[in-house]
Amino acid sequence: MKIYLVGGAVRDHLLNLPVTERDWVVVGATVNDMLQQGFRSVGKDFPVFLHPKSNEEYALARTERKVRRGYTGFDFDTSQHVTLEEDLKRRDLTINAMAETPDGKLVDPYHGQQDLQNKILRHVSSAFVEDPVRILRVARFAARYAELGFKVAPETIELMRQMVLSGEVDALVPERVWKEFEKALGEPHPEQFFQALADCDALPVLFPELGMDTAGMKALAKAAKVTKDTQVRFAALVHDLPESEVKKLCERYRVPNDYRDLAVLVTREGNFHFYNNFSIHQSSKEFHLQGAEIFSKKILRFFLDLDAFRREERFEKFLLTCEICSKQSSSEILKQCYSVAKAVNAKELMNQGMSGAEIGSALVKKRIEAIENFLANSYN
């Protein structure tokens, strides 16, 4: 039995990046060998085990053979005779097809270290075309390492294009697409995920609502510089789409409700004129032209429409997304209006002997007054 550190841990160590998790390959062992040494079996499709102390993943070396369409259409061989080189050959990119011996010696049969030095994302073998998920993974690595200057090799782009033309992409299940999509949103340059998909003609197949030269793609790039929150980044990406298109995309890939709700809210409310025109100068003008009470009611209605008092965290993400997507910087004064309105609470009114609908009416009135007084002090 021989054990090797493989994949991302080796790659990131060579790039002098933090190693967040370690995966191991075991050569020359059987399932019974692993169980006898206290490993716990967790693999469904092929033998994967958890170390009894570290809980790190150990997989038996394996080869795979394509037997049907889609990313699940493989038969696996995990016999004792599978070599390390054979196991590494089935991997997606050369930079992920390196291993390290227990004494730190690099095993690099497919020249991954050279591609790291040349900043190239290159497929290991022609078997790459058998798994459509690899299109998404390559695009995600492009998003991750773009700031280091990495590019996808032209021959790899061509293989990805062939996979799109052959219809392999159509076999991707929604959950797997979203999993890679969400990871890509968290990368340093998520817009490069979509650029890589566009380069191989997969973008109009997987995300027909999106295009590269759009306000949404520019907003995504901007959002990535401002926040690591992937919900905000997603909402920024789709902010200029019709609400129906946002819902369609979310339904197709079973996007979690928190992502969908924020995106729909931004699409529905963020583009309407009240928010985009709410600069200090413009709002001061409307405050005096419309009258203090009318304008303050308008602001409170805006908060209520967004359910801001019950969903404060979402409201903050909404304001951040709108600020990223808008030419105006509107959120600070709205945050202050929100703060003074929120400070008025029902408990104080109950202490004054109010109850039922009376509390609701009084709460609205006092919140309008609080906003009005704040704006009066700000604009006079």
**Each residue's pLDDT tens digit, 324-338:** 987 555 667 788 889
Q: Give the pLDDT of residue 347.
A: 74
Q: Is the pLDDT of residue 244 over 80?
A: yes
- The residue that leads in pLDDT, 78 or 61, is 61
Q: Is the pLDDT of residue 261 over 60?
A: yes
**What whole-number percentage of the chain has pLDDT above 70?**
86
Q: Give the pLDDT of residue 325.
A: 86
What residue spans define the domains of the chain?
1-111, 272-379
Per residue in 183-209, pLDDT (tens digit) is 999 999 999 999 999 999 999 999 999
Q: Is the pLDDT of residue 288 over 80?
A: no
Q: Give the pLDDT of residue 66.
A: 55
Average pLDDT over residues 240-262: 96
When pLDDT is cut at 50, 70 and 90, the band that residue 166 belongs to is very high
Predicted structure pTM score: 0.86
When pLDDT is cut at 50, 70 and 90, the band that residue 272 belongs to is very low
**CATH class of domain segment(s) 1-111:** alpha beta
Q: Is the pLDDT of residue 340 over 70?
A: yes
When pLDDT is cut at 50, 70 and 90, the band that residue 284 belongs to is low
When pLDDT is cut at 50, 70 and 90, the band that residue 380 belongs to is low
- The residue that leads in pLDDT, 361 or 124, is 124
Average pLDDT over residues 132-136: 95
Strands of 40-41's sheet in order across:
40-41, 48-50, 57-60, 23-27, 2-6, 99-100, 106-107
Average pLDDT over residues 363-375: 90
Q: Is the pLDDT of residue 274 over 60?
A: no
Q: Give the pLDDT of residue 273.
A: 46
